């Protein structure tokens, strides 16, 4: 029997397991099915019902657990084709992530999420602007995501560029949006881009300032004050692979 056939015949079992696991309400619900050797384990795309019963805190905990799986080298064995099939007719992501374009900081991988689990808006330096806000408003108000996670990262080139006053085409304007974080970072040692500690401190401040920008959205602010969504910051550490959540 072809592996894909086995997966399709295992579908009813998978749904049962997901329903059982739904009570745990974690992002990246794992279906574990013993098919031959070794057993196949994979995360499944969320159904609307499963996503809707999750609280923002449970979703954040799921993201934290996903990162632990990643940085301890025990990620789910994602069956992307199964996730693709489960989500093709509709998506019910539980979170929207705003993260940097850095190739070393792919949020879905470092948080061990699969297809259909999280929106991800990526832009250099994880800054906000009107178009980013529009994307996040869509994700939460129209598509039902309950967590907005801003994820900065260590050794961010955009932050270094802002510190160095780099000028390059349209990048110049983007870096201007990071510069307020430089001034607002309290740091008494060398405030230069070659100082990793300073760069990472500015990146953390930049995440906090981005959170403030997001809360200027009437839609996101209202959803947050009603307790329907949570907006949270984090920093991904390129060395070690850990994501530190701000709260
Ligand atoms: Zn970056």
Quote the pLDDT of residue 54. 94
Q: What is the predicted pLDDT for the residue at 44? A: 65
- Lowest average pLDDT, out of 21-35, 58-72, 232-246, goes to 21-35
List Cβ neighbours of 134 (8 Å cut-off, separation of 6 or more): none
pLDDT value, residue 43: 56
Predicted confidence at residue 127, as pLDDT, reads 98
Residues of the binding site: 100, 102, 153, 156
Q: How far is CA 80 from CA 41, 75, 108, 146, 199, in A?
A: 12, 13, 13, 23, 36
In the reported structure, the alpha carbon of residue 105 is separated from the centroid of ligand 1 by a whole-number distance in angstroms of 8
CATH fold of the domain at 2-246: Beta-carbonic Anhydrase; Chain A (3.40.1050)
Strand, helix or coil at 233? Answer: strand
Opening angle at CA 138, ends 21 and 244, nearest 5? 55
Q: What is the pLDDT of residue 28?
A: 43
pLDDT tens, 170-200?
A: 999 999 999 999 999 999 999 999 999 999 9
Residue stretches of the annotated binding site for Zn(2+): 100, 102, 153, 156
Q: According to the model, what pLDDT value does residue 46 have?
A: 79
Question: 169-199: string of b/e by CB count within 10 Å (b at 16+)?
Answer: eeeeebbebbeebbeebeeeeeeebeeeebb
The CA 86 to ligand 1 mean position distance, Å, reads 32
Q: Is the pLDDT of residue 16 over 50?
A: no
- Asked if pLDDT for residue 207 goes beyond 90, the answer is yes
């Amino acid at each position: 029997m072809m592996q894909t056939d086995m997966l399709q015949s295992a579908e009813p079992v998978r749904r049962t397991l997901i329903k059982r696991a739904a009570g745990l309400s974690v992002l990246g619900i794992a279906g574990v099915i013993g098919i031959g050797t070794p057993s196949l384990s994979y995360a499944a795309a969320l159904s609307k019902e499963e996503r809707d019963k999750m609280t923002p805190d449970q979703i954040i905990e799921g993201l934290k657990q996903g990162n632990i799986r990643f940085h301890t080298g025990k990620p789910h064995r994602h069956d992307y084709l199964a996730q693709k099939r489960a989500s093709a007719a509709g998506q019910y992501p539980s979170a929207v992530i705003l993260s940097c374009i850095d190739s070393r900081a792919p949020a879905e991988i470092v948080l061990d999420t699969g297809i259909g689990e999280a929106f991800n808006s990526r832009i250099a330096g994880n800054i906000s602007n009107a178009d980013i806000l529009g994307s996040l408003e869509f994700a939460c108000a129209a598509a039902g995501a309950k967590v907005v996670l801003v994820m900065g990262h260590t050794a961010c080139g955009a932050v270094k560029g802002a510190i160095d006053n780099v000028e390059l085409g349209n990048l110049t304007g983007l870096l201007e949006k990071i510069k307020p974080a430089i001034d607002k970072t309290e740091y008494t040692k060398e405030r230069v881009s070659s100082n990793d500690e300073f760069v990472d401190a500015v990146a953390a401040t930049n995440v906090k300032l981005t959170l403030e920008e997001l809360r200027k959205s009437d839609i996101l602010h209202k959803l947050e004050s009603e307790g329907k969504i949570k907006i949270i910051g984090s920093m991904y550490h390129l060395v070690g692979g850990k994501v530190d959540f701000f709260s």
